[in-house]
Amino acid sequence: MSAVAPQKSLLVNGYEVVIGFETHTQLSTHSKIFSRSSVAFGAEPNTQASVVDMALPGTLPVMNKGAVERAIKLGLAVGGYVSDKSVFARKNYFYPDLPKGYQISQFEIPVVQGGAVSFLLDGEPTSVRLVRAHLEEDAGKSLHDDFVGQSGIDLNRAGTPLLEIVTEPDMRSSAEAVAYAKELHKLVTWIGICDGNMQEGSFRCDANVSVRKPGAELGTRREIKNLNSFRFMQQAIDFEILWQIEQIEDGYAIQQATVLFDPDTGETRAMRTKEDAADYRYFPDPDLPPLVISREWVARVQAAMPELPRVMAKRLIETHGLSVYDADMLTASQHTAAYFEAATSGCGQPKLVANWMMGELSKRLNGDGLEIAHAPVQALLLAALVARIQDQTISNNAARQVFDALWNGESADVDALIESKGLKQMNDTTALEAIIADVVAANPDNVVQFKAGKDKAFNALVGQVMKASKGKANPQQVNDLLRAALEA
Ligand code: ADP
Ligand code: MG
């Protein structure tokens, strides 16, 4: 286990909030964790359920190495210990969508132990410790709405590989919990072990929430199940916190329970009282040998790991002088980071690229509901545009017009657009000096006022020159030349 529990104090009505997360990430393998059926989303019910998934007698599970490899990646990404030997266990319970009568999971020795997830919370570096991450299979699904008076069972999901990632109860606010969940989501998609699709259930969080008076023992927790949107996560936790405080203030004790969030009412509702581990009668699964992970395997996975987002953010700060905030934004996803790096190497202007990405580009992406991977203005096109700002061919204002034209598909040629729209900045000193001479001659009053120390008069003259150049003069150059002319 790494480090010590974070010291954070944030009170809600005199109570300290304590939150721990259990996140089910669906691993991005093609087939299931113990069978060869496909895990593709959206298939007709029961078309992806093999005899193993249906738990027919005499069938045996076979471990999918791809799932293990993804668990190793997570272990390395969070700086946890990848167990050299871990054990699959049977978690026994009855539910119609669980035909075996038990779920294969890991109990005593999980595949990953310890580690931490670090992120920024309101600009402050924060860290949440992990207890463990263990491999397990998903259950099937009961279909209650498809038949009148009957329920159906779809076993397509049964046996889907999950990695359950469990934190210490380190979080102290809903904002921190959401920031943690976002960072974990970023991490698992970044290292390519999970597609991160929350609507399809690839990333589901259970939030364990309790409250206590500062300094008291941990309070009794309630577990909000299956949060699959960051917005609902925040709402659910906020509601739960206030509900628990109210209960305690009214003299009731909190009962340990599993609750569901109802987005329609914005409330959490008890689903069942919570089982303890003992109720599941865990025992090692005799059908599966212990999972042995050689150090060579770990080393091979390590060698193929991408640069992690935190490491990359640090590199961007150090090599390009970007701010912590900018570096964090630019490493929001692999696609964003790749875009930034490609655009920067295309024009050599990291700060301008960063400004454009977080300004115009992100504005247009949001407006059109697009992911950066599908942006009509791709990295090299932005680089070409930035290069023309940098070499003073166009002003920032003109560049925005070119960006819009690129975005709308008018042309994919920056220089052609600058030409056809007549946006070229006037950098010809002689021509500019001629304009300035005309303006100075035509505005003697302003000249007199300038000489009397009035800045306003100077600005008025700059405005006249800009107007005479039809907005194409470089404002800085106008300033310099005008001042020189007036002081000559
Ligand atoms: P279980 O296996 O029964 O779900 P765990 O002890 O594994 O219980 O804890 C599950 C999650 O609940 C962990 O993320 C842990 O940090 C969190 N947790 C445990 N106790 C509390 C508490 N009192 N308040 C908030 N979260 C808690
Ligand atoms: Mg648990």
The residue whose CA has the least distance to atom 7 of ligand 1 is: 166
- Comparing CA positions, the residue from 229, 236, 183 lying closest to residue 209 is 236
pLDDT in tens, 341-372: 999 999 999 999 999 999 999 999 999 999 99
Band the pLDDT of 2: cuts 50, 70, 90. very low
The percent of residues in the chain predicted with pLDDT above 90, rounded, is 85
Q: How many helices (H) and strands (E) does the chain have?
A: 16, 18
Q: Are strands 222-227 and 257-262 parallel, antiparallel or unpaired?
A: parallel
Q: Residues 448-465: what's their mean pLDDT?
A: 91
Q: Ligand 1: which of 108, 166, 213 to mutate, judged by most atoms within 8 Å of the beta carbon?
A: 166
pLDDT, residue 1, reads 39
What is the CA(277)–ligand 2 centre distance, in A? Answer: 8
Tokens at 85, concatenated: 């030997």
Ligand 1 probe mutation, 128, 221, 223, most atoms within 8 A of CB: 221
Tokens 């203030």 -> residue = 249
Atom of ligand 1 nearest to the CA of 169: 16
Ligand 2 centroid, distance to 146 Cα (angstroms): 31
Nearest atom in ligand 1 to the alpha carbon of residue 219 is 23
Report pLDDT digits (tens) over 249-265: 999 999 999 999 999 99
98 CA to centre of ligand 1 in angstroms: 24
pLDDT digits (tens, 9 = 90+) for 284-332: 999 999 999 999 999 999 999 999 999 999 999 999 999 999 999 999 9
Cα 43 to chain centroid, rounded: 28
CA 142 to ligand 2 centroid distance, Å: 22
Q: What is the pTM of this model?
A: 0.87
Q: Provide the pLDDT for residue 9.
A: 64
pLDDT interval class at 488 (50, 70, 90)? confident
What domains are defined for the chain? 11-300 (no CATH), 308-420 (no CATH), 429-487 (1.10.10.410)
Amino acid at 452: A
pLDDT of residue 193 exceeding 90: yes
Residue closest by Cα to atom 2 of ligand 1? 277
Q: What distance in angstroms lies between residue 431's CA and the mean position of ligand 2's atoms?
A: 75
Average pLDDT, the chain: 93
